[in-house]
């Protein structure tokens, strides 16, 4: 099967041709604004002017004729409306002219599938970073699920915004990368990770402040990269731990950055994962990736009529059925978390676990030490406070602030995650979880990483690892907890019923639930494409 793909979601208009085994050709033209960021209508004018040229170049490079094409696919969304319409219109015209099928493609799906085609990855977790997107994506229960994403702006967008403030022309990321190589001083920036999600607006604001204060551009660029890249790799590793997958795929425009690529490889080597880096040429938006995704959709029974080809600016990857991936069950890792190594010992005759905060070689040493110290201390304080409220948590026997270790009571029993994966009846436990979490929240304590891996079912239901939580927390922190648990129940197990039960039970135990649920809706709306 030979497929023509046309990409036009943002700054690039591109046409690519693929078959089942290879990329036959690809041609692109990128709109570069004279000043500021992407202007959607000006970009669309550029695309309209260049679309015939890139299609012609793709066919010339391939040696094929339009009559050789079996299917035309186009980027249906997400993206900028005026740009999407150019790609869609050209594809419809091609389909009607040559009487061949047409199919609309989700843009992130294209990045995933071209990465898999080129790398040989089978069932990876993808770190997808571009101007408009920052997402952790994994295949579970017939679809690619978004396990975590930015709550405000994409990482690439943040880099470009800061670049404009520093009078760096678009695209700003490559210039920031070059400046960062000479940076020596690590400036303190907000490190905003909430469970599986990230936020970059705080980094942008702080970096702009340092710029106005006269700090060296090299040091600001270095600090921006170290903080923001560490954040996304942390949530990537957490997703690997939660899903028990063992492959990583890095893709998207920002994935061309050599510092980011080296950090992903370092994390994978440290933790025993396989890392696949999409070829730099195909990290950027391209028609070949749209052709590849379109071919897979068509081969697996998807069909569009011309009337089905309306663009969708908020088209999410988790709306697409993906039956061609076989998500196997992977062995559950028992002796470590994403950030810690767990070992058993004894303490005055009691069986305990010793939790060591792992040094992360991919992170800047200064930043790594700061995070390990803060999180070890935070976990100790929150567990101490929860224990005082008679909320079941492991007893802390010792806290070593110099080695960043905790000695904790050993709790026998499976995690909630293990119980769900074994198809256990967990409705009873969801009631207890909702009651326990509501009590924690009433006392203004948040967990910060409230997922099924952080509950242990024993003689009672225990909460573990609240190192990302807060004491005297705000309503926003409480809503983050509720959102993270309900969202992980949906995405990790493909079971909306579990999420509904938890939310229903939580509303029974927290009289302030309506206000919290309103904030949860706001949090959902902040995701890049909802």
Active site residues: 449
Structure tokens at 148: 């975590």
CA distance 267 to 213: 34
SS3 at position 109: helix
Residue with tokens 């569009």: 304
Burial pattern 393-432, b for ≥16 Cβ within 10 A else e, equals bbebeebeeeebbbbbbbbeebbbbbbbbeeeebeebbbb
SS3 at position 353: strand
Contacts of 271 (CB under 8 A, 6+ apart): 237, 240
Q: First-to-last CA distance in the chain?
A: 33
Residue with tokens 């690809």: 26
CB atoms within 10 A of CB 260: 25
Q: Are strands 12-18 and 3-7 parallel, antiparallel or unpaired?
A: antiparallel
Which residues, listed in sequence order, are joined to residue 106 by a DSSP beta bridge?
A: 77
CA distance 218 to 187: 11
SS3 at position 471: strand
Which candidate, 423, 446, 433, places its Cα nearest to that of 502?
Answer: 433
Which residues, listed in sequence order, are joined to residue 513 by a DSSP beta bridge?
A: none
Which residues, listed in sequence order, are joined to residue 481 by a DSSP beta bridge?
A: none
CA distance 527 to 530: 6
CA distance 333 to 328: 15
CA distance 148 to 127: 10
Structure tokens at 210: 């340092």
Angle subtended at Cα 431 by Cα 501 and Cα 475, rounded to the nearest 5 degrees = 80
CA distance 399 to 383: 11
Burial of 99 (0-12, 13-18, 19+ CB in 10 A): exposed
Contacts of 22 (CB under 8 A, 6+ apart): none
The 3-state DSSP composition of the chain as helix, strand, coil percent (nearest 5) reads 45, 20, 35
Structure tokens at 371: 């995070």
CA distance 68 to 198: 45
């Amino acid at each position: 099967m030979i497929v023509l793909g046309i990409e036009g979601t943002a700054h690039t208009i591109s046409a690519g041709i693929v078959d089942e085994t290879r990329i036959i050709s690809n041609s692109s033209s990128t709109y570069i604004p004279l000043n500021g960021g992407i202007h959607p209508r000006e970009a669309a004018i550029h695309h309209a002017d260049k679309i015939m040229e890139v299609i012609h170049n793709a066919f010339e490079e391939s040696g094929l004729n339009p009559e050789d094409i079996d299917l035309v696919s186009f980027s249906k969304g997400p993206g900028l409306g005026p740009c999407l319409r150019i790609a869609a219109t050209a594809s419809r015209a091609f389909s009607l002219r040559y009487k061949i099928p047409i199919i609309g493609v989700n843009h992130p799906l294209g990045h995933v599938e071209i990465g898999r085609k080129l790398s040989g990855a089978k069932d990876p977790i993808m770190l997808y970073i571009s101007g408009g997107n920052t997402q952790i994506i994994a295949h579970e229960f017939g679809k690619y699920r978004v396990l975590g994403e930015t709550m405000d702006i994409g990482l690439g967008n943040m880099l470009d915004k800061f670049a404009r403030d520093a009078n760096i022309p678009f695209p700003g990321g490559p210039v920031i990368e070059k400046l960062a190589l000479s940076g020596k001083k690590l400036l303190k920036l907000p490190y905003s990770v909430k469970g599986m999600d990230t936020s970059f607006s705080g980094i942008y604001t702080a970096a702009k402040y340092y710029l106005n204060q006269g700090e060296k551009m090299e040091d600001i660029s270095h600090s921006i990269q170290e903080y923001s890249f560490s954040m996304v790799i942390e949530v990537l590793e957490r997703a690997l731990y939660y899903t028990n997958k063992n492959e990583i795929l890095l893709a998207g425009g920002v994935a061309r950055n050599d510092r980011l690529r080296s950090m992903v490889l370092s994390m994978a080597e440290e933790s025993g994962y396989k890392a696949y880096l999409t070829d730099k040429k195909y990290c950027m938006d391209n028609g070949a990736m749209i052709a590849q995704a379109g071919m897979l959709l068509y081969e697996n029974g998807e069909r569009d009529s011309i009337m089905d080809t309306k663009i969708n600016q908020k088209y999410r990857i988790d709306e697409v059925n993906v039956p061609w991936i076989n998500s196997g069950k992977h062995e559950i890792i028992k002796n470590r978390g994403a950030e810690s190594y767990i070992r058993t010992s004894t303490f005055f005759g009691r069986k305990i676990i010793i939790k060591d905060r792992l040094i992360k070689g991919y992170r800047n040493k200064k930043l790594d030490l700061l995070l390990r110290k803060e999180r070890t201390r935070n976990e100790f304080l929150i567990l101490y406070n929860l224990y005082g409220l008679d909320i079941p948590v492991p007893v802390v026997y010792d806290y070593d602030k110099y080695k960043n270790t905790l000695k904790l009571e050993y709790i026998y029993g499976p995690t909630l995650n293990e119980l769900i994966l074994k198809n256990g009846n967990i409705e009873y436990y969801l009631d207890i979880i909702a009651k326990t979490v509501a009590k924690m929240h009433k006392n203004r304590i948040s967990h910060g990483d409230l997922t099924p891996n952080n509950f242990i079912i024993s003689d009672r239901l225990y909460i573990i690892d609240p190192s990302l939580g807060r004491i005297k927390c705000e309503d926003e922190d409480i809503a983050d907890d509720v959102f993270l648990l309900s969202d992980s129940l949906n995405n990790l197990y493909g079971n909306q019923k579990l999420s509904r039960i938890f939310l229903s039970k939580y509303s029974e135990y927290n009289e302030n639930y309506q206000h919290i649920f309103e904030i949860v809706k706001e949090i959902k709306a902040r995701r890049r494409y909802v």
